[in-house]
């Protein structure tokens, strides 16, 4: 029941703020239009084909990543205004509280991912295997849970919103740009290949690209296994930090 209440609260927060919804959709659309059409001719001349087709899965992953990690700022907000303290005195385990928050943040991120997925069809993107959409939604959920848990873990260690924004920006940009969302991972220098292999988002981008366009780098099974393992690790870390957090 507690998990459901916190999950529902996160979703209501998102839909109450229309400006936030519009703003959160603006960035992926801007990336899709500016990069997709801007670098499209260059990518096609290099023999890569349709660049929109290539970057669209990465843009979906980006929208989920940013909203997932930044959901942690709501916990800092709740710390400052006392809601979290009220939650702590309730006769429920902290494990249920943190799971409810993570599930709520992940659900909101998946909703945005689905909206972006619907929007990209207006930008010359073609679904190669529409019957795999259930697996697409599952991968979106894994990405969202992984990085919502990461955002929650960061929020557990910080008390200042500005510090959270600095730390999260420091993490999100490398995670996104090194994930292969904007460029192929084949043929990279060895150092870049190793860094990309250590980036959990790279497996989410690769899986979405494989499911939506039929082209993957690591293999779909590896993508699901590694990102699923990452989700469990970050869930365990965020749960531990949340249980140890003092008000």
Q: Give me the tens of pLDDT residue by residue for the chain, a chain 247 residues long.
A: 555 555 566 666 665 555 556 666 777 888 887 787 777 777 777 666 778 888 889 999 999 998 888 887 777 777 766 666 666 666 667 777 788 888 888 888 898 899 888 888 877 777 877 788 899 999 999 999 999 999 989 888 877 777 778 888 888 889 999 998 888 888 888 888 899 899 999 999 999 999 998 888 899 999 999 999 999 999 999 988 888 776 5
DSSP reduced 3-state for 65: helix
Q: What is the pTM of this model?
A: 0.88
Those residues with Cβ within 8 angstroms of residue 3's Cβ, 6 or more apart along the chain or in another chain: 96, 99, 100, 103
**Cβ neighbours of 197 (radius 10 Å):** 13
pLDDT, tens digit, 9 for 90 and up, residues 146-194: 999 999 898 888 777 777 788 888 888 899 999 988 888 888 888 888 9
Residue ranges of the alpha helices (H) in the chain?
Answer: 2-16, 18-38, 40-45, 51-70, 73-81, 83-88, 94-119, 133-157, 161-177, 190-198, 200-213, 220-244
**Cβ neighbours of 186 (radius 10 Å):** 8
Task: Pick left, alpha or beta for residue 160 (phi over 0 → left; psi -120 to 50 → alpha; otherwise beta).
Answer: beta
In the chain, where are the structural domains located?
Answer: 2-244
């Amino acid at each position: 029941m507690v998990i459901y209440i916190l999950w529902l609260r996160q979703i209501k927060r998102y839909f109450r703020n229309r400006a936030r919804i519009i703003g959160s959709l603006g960035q992926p659309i801007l990336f899709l239009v500016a990069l997709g059409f801007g670098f499209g001719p260059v990518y096609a001349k290099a023999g890569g084909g349709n660049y929109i087709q290539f970057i669209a899965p990465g843009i979906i992953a980006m929208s989920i990543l940013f909203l997932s990690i930044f959901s942690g700022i709501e916990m800092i907000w709740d710390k400052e205004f006392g809601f979290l303290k009220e939650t702590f005195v309730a006769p429920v385990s902290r494990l249920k509280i943190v799971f409810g928050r993570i599930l709520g943040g992940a659900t909101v991120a998946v909703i945005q991912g689905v909206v972006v997925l619907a929007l990209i069809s207006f930008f010359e993107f073609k679904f190669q295997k529409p019957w795999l959409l259930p697996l697409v939604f599952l991968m979106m959920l894994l990405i969202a849970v992984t990085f919502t848990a990461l955002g929650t873990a960061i929020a557990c260690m910080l008390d200042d919103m500005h510090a959270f924004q600095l730390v999260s920006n420091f993490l999100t940009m490398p995670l996104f740009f090194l994930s292969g969302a904007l460029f192929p991972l084949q043929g990279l220098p060895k150092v870049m290949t190793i860094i990309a292999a250590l980036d959990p988002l790279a497996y989410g981008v690769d899986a979405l690209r494989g499911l939506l366009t039929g082209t993957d780098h690591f293999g779909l099974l590896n993508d699901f296994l590694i990102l699923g393992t990452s989700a469990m690790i970050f869930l365990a870390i965020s749960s531990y930090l949340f249980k140890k957090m003092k008000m």
